[in-house]
Amino acid sequence: MQRGHQLKKAAKFLLTLALSVFLMEGAALASLTLEEEKKLGREFYEKLEKGNALLQNERANAFVGLIGERILAHSEKVPFEFKFSIIRSSAINAFATPGGYVYLNQGLINLAENESELAGVIAHEIAHVNGRHIAEIISRSQKLSISALAAILAGAFLGGSSEVSAAVTSFSIAAVTTLSLKYSREQEEAADRMGMSYLAAAGYDGKSMLDFLRIMRRYEYYSNAIPSYFLTHPGTDERIRYLDALLQTTYTREGKRSIIGNLKRIQTILLLDGKANDANLRHFQKILDTAPDNADALYGLAVTQDRLGMISESLAAFQKAIRLAPNDPEIIRDQGIAFFKLGRLEEAAASLRRAGQLAENDQGALLYLGRTYEGLGDLPGALAVYKKIEKMRLDDEDILYNLAMAYGKANYPGDSHYYFGLYFKKKGKPESALFHFNKAVTLFPANSARSREIAKEIESLKR
């Protein structure tokens, strides 16, 4: 219950932040140029990223991005570089900001029954961006003073943790309500019309856009909670009738419900990232009660049981899932991680090597394979794996830590200090990071590439 309340507050905060940013620009400018739209969208995205509001799951983000790019390939050309992101919130919401930034909440993705429904939401948001509807709203929204807007933004950017910022956030919600910052009926109809054309041209089933609106209506009825989506996308009943008319007269040909594929796996990943383990245990078990051979539900159940310490049950679920999906790298990888945690290192190595063969750039599989080799006393094998990870984008603190440890055990102190420096920098501990970088720089030739990298890190931390 408490987590659900926190997620609702987070969703409300994000909506407030988005509209506050729009208001700030609207109060200062009569209308936005294309460059100003791009700047506003980029600044808003960076605020969310710094606030850890965006999901950092490569698989899930790639899935949403592929759908978005497919829709864009069949839409009108606009001078924006689109970016598709997932927000860490169970609220049922999606929105777009100026400049081509489209956001989907985890809750909305998990509500979709098929990929085409999700594509319909994305197509609708792309249409709002292409129609520059936010810029239209901004040009009409000049009812608050700059000082009041600055207070709203200060409260939002401070995070809403203190009594002062909480009061400012409440004020901003009230201000947004009085300004009625919602898409107009004409804008919604235009986005539905354009979005439906994008959706059908991309090969998806146009009816899915209508189906998803009805699903949200059912959700509202059964949960007694209004989806956040309805707050910024009003006139749902009118939209349903309008979409129905389009389907009866224009988009009569049935399209595909799935093109990219694996929506259910993405929903499983999002549930594992979001909900509490007890809730997930009930969720996956409920699916398996009626569909015992659902590999995605078995995978979700196995990971959840592992997290809850239900070791034997977890391994049984993993084994059944692998029998159903013998070449699934995620299931095989996480089974290997479970073996590693149990100390069954030979079995862990076999599973993790297999996962690496199926998905060679999976950092999680490589990290645990390196740790497994360390546990088996095979330091050359561990270092070979870690050096492969080095060539990838290093943004995971566990990987940095294990690289540092492995190099230390293999008697490479310079590399060990270097990666400890990166690790502590990632952890937000600059003094510890500087200590290790200063040690590392003395252990490499003065003009070597590694020495230059360390010097840059030291200079950056000193600044």
- Given this model, what pLDDT does residue 23 score? 42
Q: Does residue 337 belong to any structural domain of this protein?
A: no
378 falls within a domain: no
Q: Rounded mean pLDDT of 267-294?
A: 92
Segment 16-39 mean pLDDT: 55
Domains identified in the chain, total number: 2
User: What mean pLDDT do residues 167-186 have?
Assistant: 50
Q: How far apart are CA 168 and CA 153, in angstroms?
A: 8
pLDDT for position 219:
81
**CB environment 292-314: b (16+ within 10 A), e (fewer):** eebbbbbbbbbbbbbeeebeebb
pTM of this prediction?
0.77
Q: Could you tell me if residue 150 is inside a domain?
A: yes
Q: Is 359 inside a domain boundary?
A: no
| More confident call, 158 vs 374 | 374
Q: Tokens representing 314?
A: 């977890």
DSSP track, 189-240:
HHHHHHHHHHHHHTTB-THHHHHHHHHHHHHHHHHS---HHHHHS--HHHHH
For residue 438, pLDDT over 80 is answered with yes
Bigger pLDDT: 107 or 275?
107
Q: Which of 201, 227, 249 is the last residue of a domain?
A: 249
Local confidence band at 139 (pLDDT 50, 70, 90 cut-offs)? low
On whether residue 304 sits in a domain, the answer given is no
Question: Rounded to the nearest 5°, which phi and psi values hold at 342?
Answer: -85, -5
Residue 157 — φ and ψ, nearest 5°? Answer: -75, -20
Rounded to the nearest 10°, the torsion over CA 255, 259, 262, 264 is: -20
Residue 370 inside a domain? The answer is no
Indicate whether 367 belongs to any domain: no
Reported as a pLDDT band with limits 50, 70 and 90, residue 413 is very high
Reduced to 3 states, what is the DSSP secondary structure of residue 84? strand
Is the distance from CB of 99 to CB of 80 less than 8 angstroms?
A: yes
Range among 137-141, 226-230, 458-462 rated most confident: 458-462
**Rounded Cα distance, 50 and 53, in Å:** 8
In sequence order, which residues have a C-beta less than 8 Å from that of residue 89 and are 6 or more positions away?
7, 10, 11, 14, 53, 105, 106, 107
> How would you label 147-161 residue by residue, b for 16+ Cβ within 10 Å and e otherwise?
ebbebbbebbeeebe
Question: Could you give the CA distance from residue 91 to residue 174 in angstroms, rounded to a whole number?
Answer: 20
Output 174 or 33, whichever has higher pLDDT. 33
Reading the block at residue 353, the tokens are 């090597």
Q: Which of 225, 249, 273 is the last residue of a domain?
A: 249
Q: Report the amino acid identity of residue 148.
A: A
Domain that residue 79 falls in? 2-249
Helix residue ranges per DSSP H, 51-162 = 58-73, 106-111, 115-130, 133-140, 146-157
Per-residue model confidence as pLDDT tens digits over 75-90 = 887 788 999 999 888 8
What does pLDDT average to over the chain? 81
- The answer to the question of residue 284 being in a domain is no
**Residue after which a domain boundary falls, among 249, 264, 279:** 249
